[in-house]
Structure 1
């Protein structure tokens, strides 16, 4: 029993190993505490009161302890007492040794296995409590470290470089989706450490974006939903486009190749158009309404005299597009009739298209006519032709020219003979009714005729002294052989001599006039170019420079002229059997004819119409610019071109690098940079492997194979690429230069991981190595060769993905 207090008081005793007497006296059974009241007749000085009393070796008061310098029984803590005291490493209760267990960290001595020992328990000074030099990863934040979590996890809040994780440190930490450790905002990882995506409003050319307008991406915008520029031919109606029907765009279609709506006048024959010459000239082979010119379209063509665009034959232009004229069989304004070829000055309808009437100066003795004469205004009493267009004859009661009298009968001895002569005429005496009487001397030109009349034209006697050339009395007529002026009818006198002359314009007669010098009417074929004629060569040959219609030869006149291959007249059509240019239809003439899918009138095989006038299609062997990447004329996968998409391109870099490439992502960025530098475009990856990544897991086999940038086939598929050999060495750089060089790979011929790899391509140490390949070889050694140290300079293989 340990006495904790030696004064008279209520005491607390703890049962400890003691004698039986003591147990009985204290009332202890060895397991409980009891309180008893006794009277200690001899007061003692207590151990632990902080005063050194007799019998005590020490007394530190409350600091007493079995591990302290002064133990609980106020004896000094010494080696061998069974208590580990200050300065002791151990104490097993004997005195065989000096209570030391050997060298320990913290004893101030650098012992074997220790790098340092500063003898203190400060963990963040120059020597840790584990007697090691401070280092990133030891779990202790040292000077110069922002953190130290004591692990090798690089993707947590404290990186393996003992810096706090942040965007731009090259390590993708949550919530980062990427971190490429650069300040380039338009690559695959933005400066906010967000993986580049189409629609983020940042143009990432490195990943194949041509544009990125963020929320504005999409149909109808300048940038499509896939971050490619909205261009003509993509099938999406973009800004500035009137239409876009994608592969159906064509110059002969509703939507042309430049994404404008095909309209009349654009030079391309579109739907609903018969032609389109795009020249704005309305009177050539194609009208400005894109129709083949025809009579009645309102446009005067070379073969037409007029065209008023209507179906009225009685106006100034007939439906045959000839100028209205008397004789065309149509009654025009100002005409009373028109019997066409039946018009006649002796018929019911005169050559002037007037109804025949008595007094018009024309003897109407054909058709319904019964006129005996017609001297026009000279008709009437005492004239050769009476008012009713009957001849003035003896016995009709009207003394006509050449009659001395006319008593209305043919009875003699009544003063007027049956010959209408005064019966007293010739007695030399001027009797009543006589104008003169010089007897009967039979001289009609002596001033008095034998009819006792003064000489006058129309009296039936020719008086040369009066200038008469003829006189047939009442038969004188301006349409006969002897005119009303007693002159012989002659061509050029301005009087139409019926049945002899066709016309007579007097002084206006001429070779280029309606009436020729010989008083015949101007007609096509007479050798004279008359009114309405462009030429007249007096023959019936249509292809000699002047047609039988007296028109200059022109395409569309219906005659095949020199230089023309055909001419169907009004039947010419650019989409028919004879074009408006009078050429036989042929591929390349610019017009889509039967059997042709298109015709763009050029010899370009890479546009929207091939040279054999068929629309381009994938597999025709011709690369359609802007639509196809390739076309090898077949649909075979793995031959370098499939579905008209070219094979993936491959090059070896023109620059060299040591083994510290920044990992796979850093190496891939270098490939992308080299491709962009020369304008190759596309998205590129590197032929490298790390412990956890290889081309076999990153690459997708292209359906069109792999090719060098000069087009040479390397392999048809990924399986072909990794079967141990390639078709062509990958010895062309992105600039097209041929090189024979070492190339970092750490990749087997099967495309799998092959160690070592320059510590996952983060080391340029001379004591670390990696596998390389040879760019000049097509065997498996193109990718798999012996190792080389990582401080050396080698190239990279770059593959388009």
Structure 2
């Protein structure tokens, strides 16, 4: 609140105070505190003397003036007095108004004060921009870019071809503006019968809309239903008689109005039966129902195959297109019959005409000759009139043979086409067996020769050591086991045999040669076979130089090995004593002439190279029962003594 104090330097009569006070506030838009200093003793004076005199509202003396609380006329400065006083922004006197530049409260009229002042389109006293008055006091307008309540859109431009028109409405077909996706838009002038349809598309023939307004000349339009043979043709013209197109309800349309050309002027066929020979008709008797006259009811000259039976032409039947030499009515319009040389399908099995009959491929009743009828027909090798496949003629009328699928006498099996030398039945109709020369399942080989000494023995398994068969050229022996010491080594090699002679001799053995001959004689006598030599030595001949040194060992004639190799024989020990004779017996006396050391070299006592039986001459011996070095090197005796010989197979 602005407080002004009015001081008077002149006296104011008390009666004037009541008059002055009411003059302080009228017309002001703000309260003003006025302090009056009244000097009752002062006398009357003039305005501006600083004393409120009669008729004065105030008097500030020199402070009176424009824009002051007290004007120069000693009247209070109030709103509406056309003078801008303290607290006033303006004062146009009588021009103050709500719609004037200066309001009745002597304030400038501004946007937002709730008064529509000069230059304002509106003023709702708020800062809301989306109501009926913007916050710049401008009334809302389409095109200002602000969507107001009454607007569907407002893009701030006047382009009617975008999504929002200049009337602030969404773009739509029918608004009179051609927008995206529209070919045209005549606004209220759009019509499905006009140039621009209700879908804003240019009218075209085939769109299903009859365009008969504006520039349209269509008589019809069925869309996809337009075309030849339809009510509406492809050019959107009606299909009518005479246009050359057979439309609905028309039997024909030759595009002219002529009679006698097969199609009448009203598009009706000029048909057979009108008693007029129309073009294309050989005849027309009005369809009199008589197919055996000169013209059939089909307006054709009678002929076999026309579907009409003409007895006058010698026809027995006529099925038209159904005539066939294999059917009930032949192509000659004759009833099918056995003996006509035509096979009636489904009824006759055959028909050779005059050649039908007994012993013929086709019988008299047109049934074919059959296997099993007892008559050998062409194509049959035999026919025994039975169904047995076990005799000389099968039920297929073929002579029985291996491979026909039937097991006849002398055959073990017969799978027909399934016979196979590697299968369950061979091509010779025999069951597969090892030795038949064909390798079947489970057989490694089959050479069919029955020989057990080649690579494929009678077991039909490849020859291997210990199969019990000696494979010639590969094995020396094969006793069917992998045990050595039984006369045949585990690897199928045969050890050299050794025995002690069953006969004793004095020291005159006839030399080395005579001793060897004695061993050979004993072996032959025992049926041992082979070549034999005696284990004796002289200074000129020893086992080391004469013997074939075995790599497969040495064994007694009953099997046990006495040494695995030649070296093993000479090492001073034996695996078993040699003690058995060529006959497999034990000699009563174990002494044997040797004349050798254990290593096979000659000793010094050899009965004069085994030519002396003198008791005074000595020959070294061995013990046939020994397994140590004495088997060959035992103290000698006089050459008149008898002893045996060791015989080694060579």
Q: TM-score, with normalisation over the residues of structure 2?
A: 0.39
Q: TM-score, with normalisation over the residues of structure 1?
A: 0.33
Structure of larger gyration radius? 2
